[in-house]
Structure formats: C-alpha cells, structure tokens
Structure 1
C-alpha cells in the first residue's frame, strides 16, 4: 500500500492567530511576573518547562508521523511553520509553570509538562473524521500533579500582583480581562462558553450559600481575582478542547461551573481544575459514543444494501430464465 505523503491539516488561520496571541500574552505576562509582579517559582523554571514541552512535542510528533507514514508537521513550513507547530507546547509549558507550585521539586514540574503535552497523543476522540485530543493539556497536567503529589498546590493567587500596589493591582486584571475578552470574541469565538461559565459560576456561588450556609459574597469575590480571569480567558476557552457551536459552548462552560460547585460543596480543594478535567472527559466519552453510533448505523445500512442485492429479482422475458419459465408452463 502506498504511504501517505501529505501532512495532516493545520489549524484554521484564525486559530493560528489566536495561538500566536495566546503565546505572546503568556510570554509577556511571565516576563512581567518574574520582574515586576512577584512570581514565586525560580526564574529558571519557565525555561526548563519550555525545553521539556518543546522536546516532548517534537519527539511525539516524529513518532506519530513515522507510524502514520507522513512527514512530521514541523517540516515543510520553514521557520514560521516550525514556530507555529510549537505554539501549543509553548502555551502549555508556561501555563504549567505559572499555575502549579511544587516547592523545589523541579522533576515534578517536568513530569507535569510531559503529561500535559503527551495527553494530546493519548486521549483522543474522533471529530469530523480525524482523531483530536479532548483533554485540556495544561489543566490535565495540573490535575494529575495534584492527585499524585498531595503536598503540591496551585500557585498562590496573590503572587500575580504580590509586588505591586494600587492602582497597578487593579490595572493588571483589567488589562488581562480586556485583551483576553477581545481575543476570545474575535478569534476563538468562545464568548458563549465564557457566558455559560461565568453565569453558572455566579449561580452556583449563590446556591451553595443558600444550601450550605457559606459566604455568598466570598464565593462571588473569587471572580474578581487575577487567577479566575486568567482561567476564564486563557484556559477554559482552549479552542482545541472545547465545542464550537454556541449551545454546546454554553453547556460546556456551565457544566464546568456546575461540577466545580459540587466539588467545592464536598470540600474538595482545587475544584476548578478537577471540574474542567471531568467535563473534558465527559465530552470525550460523548464524542466516542457518537462515533460508535454512527459506525453502527453505517454497518446496518451496508448490511441492508448487501441483503437487498442478494434477493433475486423477477425473471425478464427473453432471458434464459424467462424462457425456462415459459417452457415449464
């Protein structure tokens, strides 16, 4: 059989532009974080995370290309194509280092980045005729670290504005909110997802307060923090692991908020990451179920056509079979 020679389809141009701006925003925010804002992780760690993410992305793509008999996606597009290929790994690696806190255990960070990048080749579901990953990479890497290493934690939310005071600590979330909203409105088209996420999040804070007698203002106040704004604009809206249709987007965002409310009501910490992983897993299972049902329908139709083709039709006059019937009469 002839080997495939074409590269798999690249991202939509709008998605590539969104990835570029995501990556640029993440890079600038990390530089400001280490120089101005007060990030607490060692300054060398983002470089280690990037080196790990790049290596894993290139290595796994090379292995996948060899197995599928095609050229790797990082070839054939020059320096620009190579850079665009590494954009997801760049975003994932910086997000992992920025959002997780593992004390001085850099090997745990490396492990988390490998899990985050590697999940794109392991946890896949059929979408429009080809396999695509359905777990949010950086969120999944963080969730795995939190489960396997109970002493680890997410980065303290205060470190995003730890070293600045008024009015800068108000300007920082405002700038992130503005540019993140513009990016999602113009390029990723994930505003319905954000509406579902923010709306149901506010609703679950009120419901938890009424049922469990917790502080409603405290639950709503979380929405004003830099961490929540970053999560809303730069993680949950990942175009590669979230639906594209408006109603599905709303259900996805609202589902994450609903699961978060349940987990928080059960006193499970870091519920925002576990909720996203759970909803992504449910969506992956749903995509596989659609694929299985469609395949079963296709097989049933093929069997019906095959059975219909095997049923003999009426004899036609003048044909050998027709002559035999006439002679018999």
Structure 2
C-alpha cells in the first residue's frame, strides 16, 4: 500500500486530486483584476477583446473535449485561460486574443506527456504570439499601477489562491530568487536598484508569480522539485534581463518547463513503479 508520502509523488492529472478545486480561487483572482483594470485603471484592452478571448478558449475546449474524450465538460479551465490572455496581451486586433486563446487550449490538449500538459497554457501561447507576431501584440506591464492599495490586493488574493492550490512554495521561491539575482545585478553589474528590484512592486510580475508560474498541472508535484523549478525560472529570467530581452519571465518559464517537466515526470513514474512493485 502506498503511504501518504508516496501519494504526494503523484503527478496531478485531475482537479479531483484537490479537496477544493483551486481554479475557482484563481478565477476570482483574475476576474477581480480584469474588473478593476477595465473600470478603474484604464487598461488598454476593450471588453470586446477580452470576451473574444474567453469565448474562443471556451468554445475550443468544449469542442476538443467532446471530439477527443467523447464527453461534455464544463470548461472552467478555459474561462481562466481566456481571462488570463486578456490580462497578459494588449492589441488593437481582437483576432490576436482569439488566436492566443485558441493556441493555449490546443497546446494544452495535445502537447502532453504522461497524462499532463507540459507548458502553462497561457505562457506558451503568449510566448509564441509575442515572438512571432510582435508587430500586432505586446505584453502590457506598464498599464499596471504600482499603487500600494492595488499591490496589497494582488498579494492577498494571490497568496490565498496559490495556498489553496498548494503552490505557495513556488511563489516564494521565484520571488526570492528574483530578489537575489536582482541584488546581484545591482551590486555586481551596477544596475540601478529600482531597475533591479522595481518589478517586484509591480502587478505585472506578481500576476506572473501568482497565476502563471504556479499552474499545478505544469509544475513538479514534490516540494523540493517545485522550489528548484521556480529558482531556475528566476535564474534564467535574470540572465535574460541582463541582455535586455523583453518579457524575460515568459521566456524563462517556457524554456525551463521544456527542459525539466518531462525528465521530472519520468523520474516520478519510476519511483512510483518501484513503490508499487516493491523493487
């Protein structure tokens, strides 16, 4: 019989692995930002663009789930994906939001290994769109206010959502490594302190830390490996920032996911097999 410690090695393949589905808290987190941004902060996106992303992601997931798995399933994850696209991308063209949402769902459904997707759906789609269609879309960190009140709301909602998803250790590891490498860039390479650590006070990086990097199904399932995963993302992000690569956190996460998630799942599968066979 597998004990509790060995059960913790399971790769999360179903939201039923949680007592309370953390996606509801993530959706509350994202919806609060969208509403505050559109009503109070003057975000660049239009309601039409955001709704386009949500409708396309929901429709794509419903259709593909029916075709592939022969079931009808409420597309809660797709609503989260479409909402996330609306926060992460800025473009005057609604088709950009539709394309990003479509890519998010298709890649999540078909780029998989051992019953789980490899990339955070929002992350990989945003990276592809920003890299190949940068004349039509940008990421929008500057539209976020650095006001103390907004920052505190982000922190409280983010901490709660990631705690419920059992991924708060990922957030702390990433923000800690970001701070460490920011200080190294300041004292070793002469980067201004505000430039090195300023992003920590901005909602853009916090949105990345609390929403994107913490996806339970595309991060390691054991605590030690999650901490290492987030540290590596922070380290690669720091290298990209030294070379002034735009949107460094997005590229860092996609590359670290590509390099680590498959080997981790192979290792976990071997450990579970040894436990079950007693070898």
TM-score by length of 2: 0.86
Find the partner of 2:262 among 285, 308, 323.
285
Separation in structure 1 between the aligned mates of residue 116 and residue 206 of structure 2, nearest angstrom: 27
Separation in structure 1 between the aligned mates of residue 144 and residue 47 of structure 2, nearest angstrom: 15
For the 8 Å contact 1:92–1:113, the answer to whether it is kept is yes
Q: Which residue of 2 aligns with 1:243?
A: 220
Q: Which residue of 1 aligns with 2:116?
A: 132
Deviations 1:128-147 (A, max 9, x none): xxx11120011111101111
For the 8 Å contact 1:197–1:254, the answer to whether it is kept is yes
Q: Within the alignment, does 1:147 sit opposite 2:147 as a pair? A: no
Higher normalized contact order (CA 8 Å, seq sep 6+, divided by chain length): 2
Separation in structure 1 between the aligned mates of residue 152 and residue 224 of structure 2, nearest angstrom: 28
The answer for unaligned runs of 5 or more in structure 2 is: 1-12
Q: Which residue of 1 aligns with 2:84?
A: 95
How many angstroms does 1:291 deviate by?
A: 7.8
Separation in structure 2 between the aligned mates of residue 292 and residue 246 of structure 1, nearest angstrom: 16
Q: Within the alignment, does 1:223 sit opposite 2:200 as a pair? A: yes
Compare 232-241 and 48-57 and name the one that shifted more. Answer: 232-241
SS in 1 for 2:47: coil
Find the partner of 1:184 among 162, 182, 202.
162
How many angstroms does 1:9 deviate by?
A: 5.3
How many angstroms does 1:22 deviate by?
A: 1.1
For the 8 Å contact 1:193–1:237, the answer to whether it is kept is yes
Residues 1:191 and 1:288: Cα distance change in structure 2 (over 3 Å): closer
For the 8 Å contact 2:220–2:264, the answer to whether it is kept is no
For the 8 Å contact 2:174–2:234, the answer to whether it is kept is yes
Deviations 1:243-276 (A, max 9, x none): 2322111101111100101111222111110001
SS in 2 for 1:11: helix
How many angstroms does 1:15 deviate by?
A: 5.3
RMSD: 2.5
For the 8 Å contact 1:33–1:39, the answer to whether it is kept is yes
The answer for unaligned runs of 5 or more in structure 1 is: 1-7, 67-71, 75-81, 163-168, 302-329
Q: Which residue of 1 aligns with 2:243?
A: 266
For the 8 Å contact 1:49–1:109, the answer to whether it is kept is yes
Q: How many residues align?
A: 262
Larger Rg: 1
Find the partner of 1:173 among 151, 154, 164.
151
Residues 1:15 and 1:254: Cα distance change in structure 2 (over 3 Å): farther
